[in-house]
Amino acid sequence: MNNLISTIQYFLIITAELTVLFLGISTIVALVLMYIPQEKLRQWLSHRGIWGNFLGAVVGSLTPFCACSTIPMTLGMLNAGAPFGPVMSFVIASPLLNPIIISMVWALMGIKACLLYFGVTFVGSMLFGVVLEKIGGAHYVKKLRIKPNCCGATHDSESSPLTFSGKLKASFISAWGDFKAVLIYLLVGVAIGAGIYGYIPQDFVTNIAGPDNPFAIPVAASIGVPLYIRAETAIPIGLALSQKGMSMGAVIALIIGGAGMAIPEMAMLASIFRKRLVGAIVVVIWTTAVVGGYLFNTIL
């Protein structure tokens, strides 16, 4: 009975926290993006060199686009002549540095974990954008027409209400729509996390994926990459596992792998990139997850 009560309490508290967090952050980000036209974002990505990769990672961290928005935007920028490296930094950073993921890591795992997560994924997005350009990844882009945004929402300020109150209302409506789209994933993740928190023995998790197991991190990253785990699902599960003794590095490797390269996004990338480039991006995400995991265990 005590386990059941603690499981229910965990489920209700984490669900309430993540609901407020998701709606609040999504509303703020949508409001900010109403003042930043997509044309401005494209101009930022037109810079060459490491500064362009830096701006590519910045734009990726500012834009909580779903994959069906990210892919057409990526193709449009490449067809418009944007440098390949900064666009790749954007592609890598967009799912990993989503403002929702950053805020969830901060709220559930603390400011140190959030700053380290941001630093690892941001630097990784920059460096791997440079690497993918240096190895000639631009030759593996397919020549395709841009398809319309399939997410139903727009971040273009030209179609936004003129008054601040109107923009705020439209931002909340957009955030509510996004929240309804991910609610089932969030509830599933919190429910699994609550079950782990309430019923799985701590010694069991520690023996398999504790800090003393050096293989826990690459295994977690390998599980996360092909497994379709949204961040809204993975982070509550990771929180529960960390409280049961799983090393923070393995938790972060699972989150980066799952959030950075889900199977649906992999399929959409294959629609605009050739197989070798898609494979290279998968390796990039896996490497970021593993390096980030070991850094977390070393520093934290």
Question: Would you give the DSSP letter of residue 34?
Answer: T
Distance CA 208, CA 205 (A): 5
* Spans of the chain, pLDDT less than 70: 1-2, 37-38, 41-42, 63-70, 72, 143-162, 202, 204-205, 209, 226-232, 262-265
Q: What pLDDT does residue 115 have?
A: 92
- How far is it between the farthest Cα atoms of the chain? 62
Q: What is the pLDDT of residues 147-176, one digit of tens each?
A: 444 444 444 444 555 688 888 888 898 888
Q: What pLDDT does residue 126 have?
A: 93
Distance CA 178, CA 151 (A): 10
**Gyration radius from the chain CA atoms:** 19
pTM: 0.73
Q: What pLDDT does residue 155 have?
A: 47
Token output for 182: 């991910």
Distance CA 85, CA 52 (A): 8
- Structural domain that includes position 169: 2-299
Backbone angles phi, psi at 141, to 5 degrees: -95, 130
Instruction: Provide CB contacts within 8 A for 41, sequence distance 6+.
Output: 59, 62, 63
CB atoms within 10 A of CB 223: 15
Q: What pLDDT does residue 153 have?
A: 45
Q: How many domains does the chain have?
A: 1
Residue bearing tokens 């109150």: 165
Q: Residue 292 in contact with residue 117, Cβ under 8 Å?
A: yes
Distance CA 198, CA 10 (A): 8
Distance CA 164, CA 198 (A): 45
Instruction: Provide CB contacts within 8 A for 289, sequence distance 6+.
Output: 217, 220, 221, 224, 225, 252, 253, 254, 256, 257, 260
Q: What pLDDT does residue 118 have?
A: 92
